[in-house]
Amino acid sequence: MKADERREKILERVSASEQPVSATRLAKEFQVSRQIIVGDVALLRAAGANIYATPRGYLAGRGSEGIEKTIVCNHTAAQMEQELNICVDNGCIVEDVLVEHPVYGQLEGQLNLKNRHDVKEFIARCEKDHAAPLSALTGGIHLHRLLCPDEESFARVEADLEEAGILYEADR
């Protein structure tokens, strides 16, 4: 199979999947190295394909149903699971995490957490890899982009995060 045909098949495979598709799985499927897949996806993205990476693999496009909102949070690493569960329990998808680094500027990590199972897997991977959250770089302050089904869902997230002492307030 030629490289351009493989890239077309990768785009089709990722676009058709509701779940993230790992580079390792694609490499096995197309009988190439994982690094070849990573390069193929980079070329697809450079050509305008709407593919993004999550901790569990590639997804095509972002969900279009609902409203996108941003929250600012401040918490310890020990409160990360609680924060994420509050968001998904109220029906929102935690799309990503952003921090403002003093040297590098904005740093972003794709999450795409939809439910408690996703949150549990994410936390387990952080623990397994001894990975500190991005918010550790900024004293706990960070942003999340959420995809919420409606304004009411977002209002519940804000209220629950505030009650838990996680929602950042500038005048604290």
25-61 confidence digits (pLDDT tens) = 999 999 999 999 989 998 888 788 888 777 778 888 7
* pLDDT tens digits along 111-152: 999 999 999 999 999 999 998 888 888 888 899 999 998 899
Overall domain count for the chain: 2
Nearest to 74 by CA among 172, 166, 138: 166
Domain that holds residue 97: 67-163
Helix pair 80-89, 116-128: axis angle to 10 deg: 160
Last residue of a domain, one of 60, 89, 109: 60
CATH of the domain at 79: 3.30.1340.20
| The two three-digit tokens of residue 105, written as one number | 């500027």
E-state strands within the chain: 51-54, 57-60, 67-74, 93-101, 105-113, 141-148
Say what the pTM is: 0.68
Same domain, 54 and 82: no
110-124 burial code (b ≥16 CB/10 A, e <16): bbbbbeeebbeebbe
